[in-house]
Structure 1
Amino acid sequence: MISKITIDKVYETARLEEVIGDFVQLKKSGTNFKGFSPFSDERTPSFMVSPVKQIWKDFSSGKGGNVVAFLMEHEHFTYPEAIKFLAKKYNIEIEETERTEEQKEEASERESMYLVSEFAQKHFSEMAWETELGKAIGLSYFKERGFTEETIKKFKLGYCLDKWDGFTLAALDKGYKLKYLEKTGLTIVKEDTQNPGNSKKFDRFKGRVMFPIHSMSGRVLGFGGRILSNDKKAAKYLNSPESDIYHKSKVLYGIYYAKQAIAKEDNCYLVEGYTDVIQFHQRGIHNVVASSGTALTPEQIRLVNRLTKNITVLFDGDAAGLRASLRGIDLILEQGMNVKVCTFPEGEDPDSFSKNNSYEEVVAYLKDNSQDFIQFKASHLMKEADNDPIKRADTVRDIINSISKIPDRIKKEIYIQECAQIMNVSEAVLFNTLAQIGKKDQKEAVSKQKEEQKAFSVVKNTEVQEKVDVQYVLEKKIIEQLLLYGNEVHSFEDLVLKENEAGDLELEPELSEIKVYEKIYLDLQDDEIELANEGFRAIYYKLIEELNEKEDFAINTFIANLEQDTVSEISSILMEEEKYTLHNWERKDIYPKDRKTEIAQLVSETILTLRCYLIKKRMEALQGKTADHTEDNSEVLEEILNYLNLNKLLSKKLNRVFS
């Protein structure tokens, strides 16, 4: 168990904008930062980060919270994993008490799989560096590829000994369970048909050099293993199978090492293999990732899209699967990203080219030979078409289809003009073709939309509108005001009920200077009002206690000790107002009021409105009692009349028409 001292230090030290900035490209927006949602596919930013409040909110998915909540949502960390990750990032020493066997047993399956993968990575590295076979075979291979010892250690490369169960026995000996070795795919388990009940265990990566595959946060998700023997029956490269922690379609090799460079350079180089990434990185070009031999997926593109809008796809000089790779470009365009393509001289690939050339030469080559996707696709497909008019027409249609994927209309038009020059086809014909594709896509989209809207179809005069829960909204406002302004001192105008000379009740104003939390607490206590929402009620009492005890109340410290569900609820409350800053109202000459200047009025109005609402509810309940005409209702009617007069006075104070 991690000690509370460590947890508190982590929360005090960690900067939310720094941590999230490693995963999402953030841009300054007033006192906040905004970016594209890392949890959904979107074209306009809806993700907000508040450095002042140290909370974030994703308005597209509804998720939100503090720094730990982000890591738990984005990286699927457990709470202890998130704390350990932050401690490592900020060089905080972890004080940990020994976990009991029962607590170890309670660890989630995912956590157990991560622990097994972490052990495997360390074991394979150890085999490469500390065993004679590992040095002679594994380490020698990496050095022959031109990797320095520093690079081998940085990428945590290793070697699995050429034994049937060497790794498996080592893991079992260290106390790791066979079921997790099997679930991660590190061990293959087969039942022994001759001895039912017994099973045979094999190392999946036996005799292979190992490339650990990391998540964006640096966790080991799986492995790629390359065989070094001449066994023609065995696959040259073997990847970990799909598991609860490893989904190859959602992972890019090298993203952990590249993320900061991608954001800094505002460009990502996309290559095919592990060695391409490592060799580029060693040469000094760090903003590079690989799809690891799989066809590019939308999930992988979105990983890059969080960090930059620019991708440069690097192809081998003799890439056999070039057409399939070109289809990947269409996927990138659909995400609204800018695509360039660069091919290497025949017989070269990113690995060999970066190994045989200096940093300056590689950078210069990439700069001089990176083409816009339309130029590359046109020149490549035209070579295939040669002088065949039918193939030429198909090529034009193929390129226009790619252009149709681009969301930006201005970019579309520019690309059409460029395509017309390259292909020697009139712009009018190309625009007509684009319109036909657009109509087809629109028809399909409308059809899909109609299907989706069936569930939400409105039948006139029959649909009952859902009522707004007024009390919920007001209680939410009270929690927000306590969180944001609780310790601030303001001048409040209290209303005291007094009888005038004519004997009528009147509300007389009295000024007082007190803290916001005291004003709210005293007013609610005077009226014997208790928050109806159970969640808000729990937060309310914790807040009052904390504000009463601590002069230096801080939101980040307060929410550090709450359950993650409560943290998410609080982030939703605090960031509700921030969502309006996403719309850039100033550009439209609309300047929202700064609520900071009207806190006293805001607090008073919220409490008065809650009083009016509760009075109305009380009157409705009393009116129900008067339905029985056989009883004497004079006392009830008198009470209703008193409430009516009080409601009238409060409504007058709120400048509302009393009904």
Structure 2
Amino acid sequence: MISRTTIDQIFEAARVEEVIGDFVQLKKSGSNFKGLSPFSDERTPSFMVSPVKGIWKDFSTGKGGNSVSFLMEHEHYSYPEALRYLAKKYNIEIDEIEQTDEQKQQANERESMFLVSEFASNYFHKNLLENEQGKAIGLSYFKERGFTDETIKKFQLGYSLNEWEAFTNEALNKGYNLKYLEATGLSIVKQDLLAASGTKQFDRFKGRVMFPIHSMGGRVLGFGGRILTNDKKAAKYLNSPDSDIYHKSNVLYGIHYAKQTIAKEDNCFLVEGYTDVISMSQKGILNVVSSSGTALTENQIRLINRLTKNITILFDGDAAGMRASIRGIDLVLEQGMNVKVLTFPDGDDPDSFAKKVSTEELKNYLANNSQDFINFKVSLLMEEAKNDPVKKAGLIRDIVISISKIPDRIQQEVYVQECSRIMDISESVLFNELAQINNKQQRDAAKVSRSSTTSSASANMAPDPNEPPLDVLYPEMVQLQNTPKFEKVNELAKYEQEIIRILLLHGNKEAEFEDFIVGEVVDSNEVQPLKKEYFSNLVSKEIYLNLQEDEVEFTDDVFQQIYYEIISQLNQEKNISVNALVNSKNPKISSFVTGILMDDEKHVLSNWGRKEIIIKPKDKDLPKMVLDAIYNLRRVLIEQKINSLISDTENPDREHMLETIMNYTELKKLLCVRLNRIV
């Protein structure tokens, strides 16, 4: 069995448009890609790929899913075979072991660490807004930095009280295990023979303003904390230590908030610090992420590469800092990405510059002052070389080495010509130098490849004979082929599906709902007048409470499984993770969820906007949509109950049965009033 760690690495590395692009010709369409369906014979594209969501949808056949499900559908791979294919494509070593009880426990421990981190984020944020010390010190600091209430809430900024055990004691009192507080680095535990327990624990981030660091999916992985005193013995910024859920070199601050805009704008601005991201975002530049003060790594670049091929690195006016960070440019080029560089005037960084200028001025500056890496390197290092031929030759060689990192040979040639023009040196000399560097890189790569081939020659790549065929994995497709084109609509399934759709798309949103209360005056010939009251609630909670009240069980097995998974997530995380459902091993669940997530993309395929056909947003009035789905589900269930009672000719207690039917009918009338339906 392939280990969970390996599977996570595969899903993290796999870019759905790259995987599918090996089999289908895709063209850019906004933030998505489109192409002709590989599963049907068509002339107009109905196949959509969403890099941001990591999923695909074929509207001609109804199929959809992630990278793995595409390989299972298109190449008829088994689930393990698809994982092996992706592991080979992205050079991931497969760790294949039998999962032990200890490994199962480890998976549970990771989840416990996530829960502790989420609690800490809420605790620090509450301190900032409600605690007197938090407001006086932490909130004042953020306000002085110019951050609005909306920005502070968006980034969940917080404050850790300037007390040794404030957070740790609060977490322990809430029932969280000290083991996970220590594992996440939130608490530090040390041996203390004088203590009754033999250990003493204290808060790592004591007296610091807090910046939660999220995964691309939005889960809290760790924290950055900034001290506000002038204590020379303490680090200005302190990050969570690496743990099972947090690896600094694999994370970009702000990626969760920026991913949609990065894909839409097809460009990512890369900055150095937390406040750079926050200030730029507050000024309307949303496609900004930070390496959190660490040197840029390959894994961080791959995160961006999933969303766009274009990176613009923003440097401040400090030349020394720019030289130290220049290695990151070569790493970006190695990943086949396009890199531009933008510097700010002396003394300014992205944070301070964003505060000085208006949004329009900031956007104009970003658009008009970026330069390619050759011009940047020349402008940065030419001052040092001046009239020294040896230093100038070294600079030229350094630029050619950067050019050699670019995988595309055509781009290499274009940059060689640009370098020749700027540095006033013949192209032939530069091409000769580039050829030598490329040859050396190819020899080194060949050595690595031979070594890798030898070590993996014994790997078992044979298909799993116990893996069921696709007609077993996808029985609904066989059923679909044998189903008549025209049949009565299953109203119950229709509204069950609508409820699942709402949960997937809007479950984590809060909305204002209306409740109906029966009035005092009753006309015996009409339904009782209704009064309305309003209250706020999470969409997922409102649906759950209503279905629980009616003890509703979904009749469709797939819908029921999805609903159970969503409720399980809400009980553990208080948020719905759609990615977990997209990556489900059950292809029915993965395909259905993908279809919901990609439903709106079919309008893009039809180009309705160009045809001046306005598509009315289905989800404009969210509270009404939620309540309509719940009321309609109740109405259909009541109708089924009434019909069942009427058809029960063997019931001896006819009088009681008629009374029950009348009660259900009155209830149905009440629901119809709420739905504005005519009975």
TM class by shorter-chain length?
Answer: 0.5 to 0.7
Q: Report the equivalent of 1:332.
A: 332
Matches of 1:61 and 1:374, distance apart in 2: 40
Matches of 1:565 and 1:418, distance apart in 2: 45
Give the C-alpha shift of residue 29 in structure 1: 2.4
Q: Report the equivalent of 2:33.
A: 27
- Change over 3 Å in CA distance of 1:557–1:50 after alignment to 2: farther
Matches of 2:70 and 2:206, distance apart in 1: 45
Q: How does 1:338-487 map to 2 (within 5 A)?
A: 338-454=338-454, 476=469, 478-479=471-472, 482-487=475-480
Contact 1:311 1:338 in 2 (8 A): yes
Residue 58, structure 1, aligned to residue 68, structure 2: yes
- 1:483-514: CA deviation from partner (whole Å, max 9, x where unpaired): 423232399xxxxxxxxxxxxxxxxxxxxx9x
Please tell me the residue identity of whatever aligns with 1:300: Q
- Change over 3 Å in CA distance of 1:131–1:559 after alignment to 2: closer
Residue 287, structure 1, aligned to residue 280, structure 2: no
- Change over 3 Å in CA distance of 1:433–1:559 after alignment to 2: farther
Give the C-alpha shift of residue 32 in structure 1: 2.9
Matches of 2:589 and 2:447, distance apart in 1: 34
Matches of 1:569 and 1:110, distance apart in 2: 23
Give the C-alpha shift of residue 561 in structure 1: 9.1
- The CA RMSD measured in Å over matched residues stands at 3.9
Give the C-alpha shift of residue 574 in structure 1: 9.3
- 1:267-288: CA deviation from partner (whole Å, max 9, x where unpaired): 1100000000000011111110
- Change over 3 Å in CA distance of 1:133–1:277 after alignment to 2: same
- 1:40-70: CA deviation from partner (whole Å, max 9, x where unpaired): xxxxxxx855562342233899899xxxx9x
Contact 2:558 2:588 in 1 (8 A): no
Q: Report the equivalent of 1:568.
A: 585
Query: Any gaps of 5 or more consecutive residues in structure 1?
Result: 1-15, 40-46, 74-104, 459-464, 492-512, 516-551, 576-659
- 1:58-95: CA deviation from partner (whole Å, max 9, x where unpaired): 3899899xxxx9xxx9xxxxxxxxxxxxxxxxxxxxxx
Between 1:29-38 and 1:106-115, the stretch displaced more is 29-38
Matches of 1:123 and 1:237, distance apart in 2: 20
Contact 1:480 1:573 in 2 (8 A): no
Q: Secondary structure at the match of 1:437?
A: helix
Matches of 1:107 and 1:447, distance apart in 2: 37
Contact 1:57 1:571 in 2 (8 A): no
Q: Report the equivalent of 1:504.
A: none
Contact 1:480 1:574 in 2 (8 A): no
Give the C-alpha shift of residue 384 in structure 1: 2.1
Residue 128, structure 1, aligned to residue 143, structure 2: no
- 1:318-374: CA deviation from partner (whole Å, max 9, x where unpaired): 153212311101111111111110000000000000001000111111111100112
Q: Secondary structure at the match of 2:434?
A: helix
- Change over 3 Å in CA distance of 1:555–1:380 after alignment to 2: farther
Q: How does 1:499-538 map to 2 (within 5 A)?
A: none
Q: Secondary structure at the match of 2:302?
A: helix
Give the C-alpha shift of residue 210 in structure 1: 0.7
Contact 1:113 1:245 in 2 (8 A): yes
Residue 262, structure 1, aligned to residue 252, structure 2: no
- Change over 3 Å in CA distance of 1:29–1:423 after alignment to 2: same
Matches of 1:393 and 1:63, distance apart in 2: 54
Contact 1:55 1:571 in 2 (8 A): no
Matches of 2:171 and 2:311, distance apart in 1: 40
Q: Report the equivalent of 1:10.
A: none
- 1:372-423: CA deviation from partner (whole Å, max 9, x where unpaired): 1121112212122222111111111110011011111111100000000111
Residue 231, structure 1, aligned to residue 231, structure 2: yes
Contact 1:50 1:56 in 2 (8 A): no
Matches of 1:230 and 1:185, distance apart in 2: 24
Give the C-alpha shift of residue 145 in structure 1: 0.5
- Change over 3 Å in CA distance of 1:196–1:61 after alignment to 2: farther
Give the C-alpha shift of residue 216 in structure 1: 1.1
Contact 2:64 2:70 in 1 (8 A): no
Contact 1:317 1:343 in 2 (8 A): yes
Matches of 2:106 and 2:245, distance apart in 1: 18
Please tell me the residue identity of whatever aligns with 2:378: A
Give the C-alpha shift of residue 457 in structure 1: 7.1
Task: Give TM-score scaled by structure 1 length.
Answer: 0.61
- Change over 3 Å in CA distance of 1:156–1:299 after alignment to 2: same
Contact 2:213 2:254 in 1 (8 A): yes
Matches of 1:229 and 1:185, distance apart in 2: 22
Please tell me the residue identity of whatever aligns with 1:359: T
Matches of 2:556 and 2:336, distance apart in 1: 40
Give the C-alpha shift of residue 191 in structure 1: 0.8
Q: Secondary structure at the match of 2:314?
A: strand
Q: Secondary structure at the match of 2:436?
A: helix
Between 1:48-57 and 1:263-272, the stretch displaced more is 48-57
Residue 488, structure 1, aligned to residue 481, structure 2: yes
Contact 2:471 2:477 in 1 (8 A): no
Please tell me the residue identity of whatever aligns with 2:47: N
Contact 1:271 1:314 in 2 (8 A): yes
Please tell me the residue identity of whatever aligns with 2:126: E
Task: Give TM-score scaled by structure 2 length.
Answer: 0.59
Query: Any gaps of 5 or more consecutive residues in structure 2?
Result: 1-15, 21-29, 37-45, 84-104, 488-553, 566-580, 593-679
Q: Secondary structure at the match of 1:568?
A: coil
Matches of 1:374 and 1:110, distance apart in 2: 44
Q: Report the equivalent of 1:139.
A: 139
Matches of 2:319 and 2:31, distance apart in 1: 32
Q: Report the equivalent of 1:586.
A: none
Matches of 1:489 and 1:457, distance apart in 2: 45
Identity %: 57
Q: Report the equivalent of 2:252.
A: 252
Q: Report the equivalent of 1:307.
A: 307
Between 1:274-283 and 1:106-115, the stretch displaced more is 106-115
Q: Secondary structure at the match of 1:58?
A: helix
Matches of 1:571 and 1:406, distance apart in 2: 41
Give the C-alpha shift of residue 477 in structure 1: 5.3
Q: Secondary structure at the match of 1:314?
A: strand
Matches of 1:321 and 1:142, distance apart in 2: 25
Contact 2:471 2:478 in 1 (8 A): no
Q: Report the equivalent of 2:506.
A: none
Please tell me the residue identity of whatever aligns with 2:169: L
- Change over 3 Å in CA distance of 1:251–1:487 after alignment to 2: same
Matches of 1:63 and 1:247, distance apart in 2: 34
Please tell me the residue identity of whatever aligns with 1:56: N
Give the C-alpha shift of residue 28 in structure 1: 1.7
Q: Report the equivalent of 2:113.
A: 113
Matches of 2:165 and 2:73, distance apart in 1: 44
- Change over 3 Å in CA distance of 1:358–1:448 after alignment to 2: same
Q: Secondary structure at the match of 1:284?
A: coil
- Change over 3 Å in CA distance of 1:482–1:177 after alignment to 2: closer
- Change over 3 Å in CA distance of 1:420–1:61 after alignment to 2: farther
Matches of 1:158 and 1:63, distance apart in 2: 46
- Change over 3 Å in CA distance of 1:400–1:222 after alignment to 2: same
Contact 1:269 1:312 in 2 (8 A): yes
Matches of 2:325 and 2:72, distance apart in 1: 35
Residue 150, structure 1, aligned to residue 150, structure 2: yes
- Change over 3 Å in CA distance of 1:311–1:362 after alignment to 2: same
